C-alpha cells in the first residue's frame, strides 16, 4: 500500500471509531506534515453536542494547537469523506492546500447526511434564511480595521 | 431602536472587542433564543491560533454547551458580517434557520478577507486542491452506518 492510501486508511479507522463508539457520524480525518500524521479527529457531534465537531474541524484545531499557529500551509489533510462546506472552508482558512478524500458527498447523502444539499444551498446568495439588517456601526468597525497599523491578516 | 437592531449592535460591539484586543478579525456574533441573547462570540483566530475560531463558530459552540444540544433549531444568529462559508454551513448543521448580518462578504473583501473568493471556489467541484483517493474500506464504514440500528441522525 502506498503512503497516501495508508494515511487514508488511518482516517477511515477513525471514522470507524466514531461509528463504534456512537460519538458521531462515520467520519474521520488525519493531518499530515512532512510525511507524518501530526493530528487526527473523528466526528463527535453526538458525544459533545457540538454541531461543529466534525472530523476535519477537530483535526485542524488539534494541529493548530500542536504547531502553535493558525497557518497549516505545510500540512495536508486526509479525510474519509469529501469535506462538507464547513470543513472545506475551514481547510481554506487554515491554508491547507491539499485535501484528499475517499467517499464522496453523494455517498454521504446516500446514508442520510445533508452535505450535498448544503453545497447546493451555498450557491444561492439570497434566500429567506439570510437577512441583512444594516447598521452603520458595523461598517465603522471595518473602517477601523482597515486603518489599524500592524494588523495580522490571517 | 428595534429589537433586531439592538441584537445586531451587540454583535458589532463584540466585533469591536476583537479589533481592540487584537484577538482576531473584526467580527462578532450573538445567538438569540426566545428574545434573549444566550451566547456570543468574537473572532479569536489570532489569540488562540485556531483558524476555526470565528465569531459564529464560537457562539454556536457556546450555545450548544449551554443548551446541551447540537440542535439550535429554536435560535437565531446575529452576526456583524455575512458569514463565511464555514460559518454559514455551521449554522446549517446547528439547524439555525434565521441568520441576520450587517456587513457583506464584499465589505469583508474590501478590508482584506477572502470570504468572497472562498464562496466562488466552493462552487467549483473539482480543482487541484481536492483529490480523491478511493479506498474500499471507506465505503464499508458508510454501509455499517446505514445498517446501524438506533443511530442518531443530526
**pLDDT per residue as tens digits for the range B53-90:** 999 999 999 999 999 999 999 999 999 999 999 999 99
User: Cα(A51)–Cα(A48) distance, rounded to whole angstroms?
Assistant: 8
**Phi-psi label, residue A147: left if phi above 0, alpha if psi -120 to 50, beta otherwise:** alpha
- Which residues fall within 8 angstroms of residue A120, CB to CB, at 6 or more apart? none
Q: What number is the average pLDDT over the span A103-107?
A: 94
CB atoms closer than 10 angstroms to residue B87:
30
Q: Is A9 on the interface with B (CB under 8 A)?
A: yes
For residue B49, name the pLDDT band (cuts at 50, 70, 90): very high
Can you read off the three cell numbers belonging to residue A130? 439570510
B100/A133 touch (CB, cutoff 8 Å), yes or no: yes
Residue B116 in this model has a pLDDT that exceeds 90:
no
User: Cα(B90)–Cα(A25) distance, rounded to whole angstroms?
Assistant: 15
Catalytic, out of B56, B74, B134, B140: B56
Residue A95 in this model has a pLDDT that exceeds 70:
yes
- Each as own residue / partner, the long-range contacts of residues B103-110 (CB below 8 Å, 24 or more positions apart, any chain) are B103/A138, B103/A139, B103/A142, B104/A132, B105/B81, B107/A139, B107/A142, B107/B81, B108/A142, B108/B81, B108/B82, B108/B84, B110/A142, B110/A146
User: Cα(A8)–Cα(B140) distance, rounded to whole angstroms?
Assistant: 14
Average confidence score pLDDT of chain A: 93
**What is the percent of chain A with per-residue pLDDT over 90, rounded to a whole number?**
83
At B5, is the secondary structure helix, strand, or coil?
helix
Q: Per-residue pLDDT tens for B84-110?
A: 999 999 999 999 989 999 999 999 999
Burial of B35 (0-12, 13-18, 19+ CB in 10 A): exposed
Residue A102 in this model has a pLDDT that exceeds 70:
yes
pLDDT at B35: 96
B89/A94 touch (CB, cutoff 8 Å), yes or no: no
User: Cα(B24)–Cα(B98) distance, rounded to whole angstroms?
Assistant: 25
B71/A82 touch (CB, cutoff 8 Å), yes or no: no
pLDDT at A135: 93
User: Cα(B43)–Cα(A139) distance, rounded to whole angstroms?
Assistant: 16
User: Cα(B42)–Cα(B57) distance, rounded to whole angstroms?
Assistant: 9
Residue from the list A26, A85, A141 with its beta carbon closest to the beta carbon of B89: A85
Q: Is B36 on the interface with A (CB under 8 A)?
A: no
Q: Per-residue pLDDT tens for A41-59?
A: 999 999 999 999 999 999 9
pLDDT at B126: 62
Q: Per-residue pLDDT tens for B118-129?
A: 888 777 766 678
For testing contact with chain A, the best of B86, B129, B148 (most A CBs within 10 A)? B86
Q: Is B101 on the interface with A (CB under 8 A)?
A: yes
pTM of the predicted structure, to 2 decimals: 0.94
Give every strand in the sheet of B75-81, ordered side by side.
A130-132, B98-103, B75-81, B28-33, B36-42
Q: Tell me: ipTM over 0.90.
A: yes
pLDDT at A94: 97
Q: Is A148 on the interface with B (CB under 8 A)?
A: yes
Amino acid at each position: 500500500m502506498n503512503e497516501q492510501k495508508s494515511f487514508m486508511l488511518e482516517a477511515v479507522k477513525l471514522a470507524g471509531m466514531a461509528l463504534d463508539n456512537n460519538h458521531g457520524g462515520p467520519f474521520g480525518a488525519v493531518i499530515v506534515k512532512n510525511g507524518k500524521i501530526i493530528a487526527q479527529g473523528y466526528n463527535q457531534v453526538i458525544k459533545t453536542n457540538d454541531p461543529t465537531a466534525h472530523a476535519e474541524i477537530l483535526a485542524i484545531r488539534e494541529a493548530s494547537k500542536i504547531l502553535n499557529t493558525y497557518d497549516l500551509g505545510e500540512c495536508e489533510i486526509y479525510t474519509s469523506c469529501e469535506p462538507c462546506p464547513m470543513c472545506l472552508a475551514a481547510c481554506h482558512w487554515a491554508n491547507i492546500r491539499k485535501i484528499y478524500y475517499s467517499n464522496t458527498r453523494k455517498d454521504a447523502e446516500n446514508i442520510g447526511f445533508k452535505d450535498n444539499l448544503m453545497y447546493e444551498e451555498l450557491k444561492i446568495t439570497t434566500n429567506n434564511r439570510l437577512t441583512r439588517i444594516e447598521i452603520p456601526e458595523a461598517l465603522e468597525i471595518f473602517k477601523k480595521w482597515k486603518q489599524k497599523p500592524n494588523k495580522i491578516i490571517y
